[in-house]
Amino acid sequence: MTARSRLALAVVAAPPLVFLLAFFVWPVASIVATGLFPSGRFAGGAFRRAVEGGLPGVAWFTLWQAAASTVLTLLVALPGAYVFARYDFPGKRLLRALFAVPFVLPTVVVGTAFLALIGPGGLLGIRLDGTIWAILAAHVFFNVAVVLRTVGGLWSHLDPRLEEAARLLGASRGQVFTRVTLPLLRPALAAAASLVFLFTFTSFGTVLLLGGPGLATLEVEIYRHTTALFDLPLAAVLALVQMAGVTAVLLAYSRYQERRAVEQALRPAIEVARRPGTPAERALVGGTVAGTALLLLGPPAVLVARSLNTGEGWGLGYYRALGRPGRAGALLVDPLRAVGNSVSFALVATAVALVVGLLAAVVIAYHRGRASRWFDTLLMLPLGTSAVTIGFGFLLALDAPVDLRSSWLLIPLAHALVAVPFVVRAVVPVMRAVRTRLREAAAVLGAPPRRVWREVDLPLVSRAAAAGAGFAAAVSLGEFGATAFIARPDTPTLPLAVFRFLGQPGRLNFGRAMAMSVILMVVTAAAVALIDRLRPPGLEEF
């Protein structure tokens, strides 16, 4: 590496690194150190207490339920990703936006919808609440969107001629899939799997709500020990175990990812997708879309129905009641302000996540080696770290030089921390897949490096970045964990507004919580649809 390119690397890597150090490493180190060194002395007994308190069992359960959830989510989502990538059909754009909705719904709200389907007296007639199956089903529901978008993003650019060629050479459909398509998709599959794994590894609400009190993940135990029992030494040990587990998985992932990266010629999505022609294809598209829609839109449909089913028959009564002062002469929470706050936070969080994520992706995609792997792992780690750890860490660490502890800015920054991995994961596989030869050809023809990047990489990368940005916005709109633990100023977000209503008895409050959830769904779908449409001018074909 020349001195100049080394300098360029440092300039690109610095902003994401500073962001992570200030808003992740330093806060988390502060809270863990406070836990492990109460009054300055090392609390070694906490490790023993953790083991005696059942840590191995909890860690094992956390690991295997996350692994099982990840595999199930991939299996359920792949047919949908295929159909969305390869076929055009009416309503495709709308469905793509709608399918992102489950990802942001507050767990408590989805939990009650799930219970309406699989709980006592459930509509589906099977009872799964309190079992591992309920947890797995909910995890699949929440995370299918991650696979659909991450894998679908790459799949929709795979050159179909490769598969056609294999078919012509006599390969069966199955052989084409396992020998051609799957290897090409591997980077995106691994990226999606890593995201789903992290999400389910740190699952909190779902486990608490649907698993019943007998089942606990590390995340649940960290929450208990931090907020209720205030056993910070034990919480610190649990947080360390959680982060060590996540780091091990992530390092394995990025090693795999580097070895398996395949350079290929990506094609514009519009060339790849076509209308289903034969009746068999139409049945395939219809069946897959219907099945996925049933799974992803069933629980939201329950919420919509509840929000409209007022005591005086079907109607918009609960929505109107959102803006009506209560008996005390005041609004419990102003719905329009909640929408405004959520949208502003999402804008800031998405902007920060895009800048940090894109710079980081450049480093990871173009500079291989151990340092780059660790950098990648560090970027992903916030997603696999307990929201309680991060929230309490902010409180301890961010009082100097500027006291940020109760600034509204912490909310979008906490969101961005969780959103950055989505941008990175969406962009890196595409960056790596852009053929070096294509870039070299452009350079040979006399294009300066910046121009090569702009005209060869940028069109492809910006499409992937838009997908990542959609996720970042969705993450921010739906985030509840860390937000709830920050001593935040009076700026209720949409999920917090849902909880305000849900926190008080009365049918009207329950109805308003449902109405607020539906508003959250609509805002999310709209935001994701909007970002999907945003493309750099002149790059329509991608």
Q: Which is nearer to other proteins, 402 or 445 (CB)?
A: 402
What own/partner pairs with CB < 8 Å and gap ≥ 24 does 335-338 have?
335/497, 335/516, 335/519, 337/492, 338/492, 338/493, 338/494, 338/496, 338/497, 338/516
Per CB under 8 A, 139 contacts other proteins: no
Per CB under 8 A, 379 contacts other proteins: no
Least CB distance to other proteins at residue 48 (A): 16
Least CB distance to other proteins at residue 421 (A): 18
Nearest to 341 by CA among 435, 437, 270, 409: 409
Which of 7, 11, 33, 165 touches other proteins by CB under 8 A?
A: 11
Residue ranges in 382-421 that form contacts with other proteins under rule CB under 8 A: 391-392, 395-396, 399, 402-409
Least CB distance to other proteins at residue 454 (A): 9
Q: Which is nearer to other proteins, 87 or 142 (CB)?
A: 142
Which of 83, 190, 511, 532 touches other proteins by CB under 8 A?
A: 511
Which of 87, 422, 485, 542 touches other proteins by CB under 8 A?
A: 485
Per CB under 8 A, 254 contacts other proteins: no
Residues 467 and 469: their CA atoms lie apart, in Å, by 5
What type of residue sits at position 119?
A: G
243-256 b/e (C-beta count within 10 Å ≥ 16 → b): bebbbebbeebbee
Q: Which is nearer to other proteins, 152 or 300 (CB)?
A: 300
Q: Which is nearer to other proteins, 128 or 249 (CB)?
A: 128
The answer to whether the beta carbons of residues 49 and 234 sit under 8 Å apart is: yes
Which of 3, 259, 436, 490 touches other proteins by CB under 8 A?
A: 490
Beta strands in 150-229 (DSSP E): none
Per CB under 8 A, 484 contacts other proteins: yes
Which of 33, 51, 182, 229 touches other proteins by CB under 8 A?
A: 229
Per CB under 8 A, 540 contacts other proteins: no
Both tokens of residue 479? 């985030």
Which of 61, 103, 201, 223 touches other proteins by CB under 8 A?
A: 223
Residue ranges in 82-121 that form contacts with other proteins under rule CB under 8 A: 108, 111-112, 115-116, 119-121
Q: Which is nearer to other proteins, 80 or 393 (CB)?
A: 393
Least CB distance to other proteins at residue 537 (A): 15
Which residues on neighbouring strands pair with residue 394, listed in sequence order? none
Q: Which is nearer to other proteins, 135 or 193 (CB)?
A: 135
Residues 239 and 219: their CA atoms lie apart, in Å, by 8
To which H or E segment does residue 265 belong?
none
Q: Which is nearer to other proteins, 340 or 489 (CB)?
A: 489
Least CB distance to other proteins at residue 52 (A): 11
Residues 542 and 539: their CA atoms lie apart, in Å, by 6
Per CB under 8 A, 214 contacts other proteins: yes
Least CB distance to other proteins at residue 178 (A): 39
Per CB under 8 A, 26 contacts other proteins: no
Least CB distance to other proteins at residue 256 (A): 27
Per CB under 8 A, 125 contacts other proteins: no
To which H or E segment does residue 156 belong?
none
Which of 84, 87, 253, 499 touches other proteins by CB under 8 A?
A: 499
Residue ranges in 334-373 that form contacts with other proteins under rule CB under 8 A: 348, 351-352, 355-356, 358-359, 362
Nearest to 43 by CA among 225, 247, 256: 225
Least CB distance to other proteins at residue 293 (A): 24
Q: Which residues contact 468 (CB under 8 A, 6 or more apart)?
A: 353, 354, 357, 422, 423, 424, 425, 426, 427
Which of 487, 522, 526, 530 touches other proteins by CB under 8 A?
A: 487
Per CB under 8 A, 196 contacts other proteins: no
Residues 207 and 39: their CA atoms lie apart, in Å, by 34
Beta strands in 227-290 (DSSP E): none
Both tokens of residue 533? 């449409």
Which residues on neighbouring strands pair with residue 313, listed in sequence order? 310
Which of 40, 170, 446, 505 touches other proteins by CB under 8 A?
A: 505
Residue ranges in 232-251 that form contacts with other proteins under rule CB under 8 A: none
Q: Which residues contact 279 (CB under 8 A, 6 or more apart)?
A: none
Residue ranges in 27-56 that form contacts with other proteins under rule CB under 8 A: 34
Q: What angle do CA 353, 359, 360 make, to 5 degrees?
A: 85
Which of 288, 310, 341, 385 touches other proteins by CB under 8 A?
A: 310
Residues 439 and 443: their CA atoms lie apart, in Å, by 6
To which H or E segment does residue 309 belong?
strand 309-310
Which of 500, 517, 527, 528 touches other proteins by CB under 8 A?
A: 500
What are the C-alpha distances in Å from 501 to residues 116, 154, 445?
A: 19, 41, 63
Scan for tokens 């598209």, then name that residue: 285
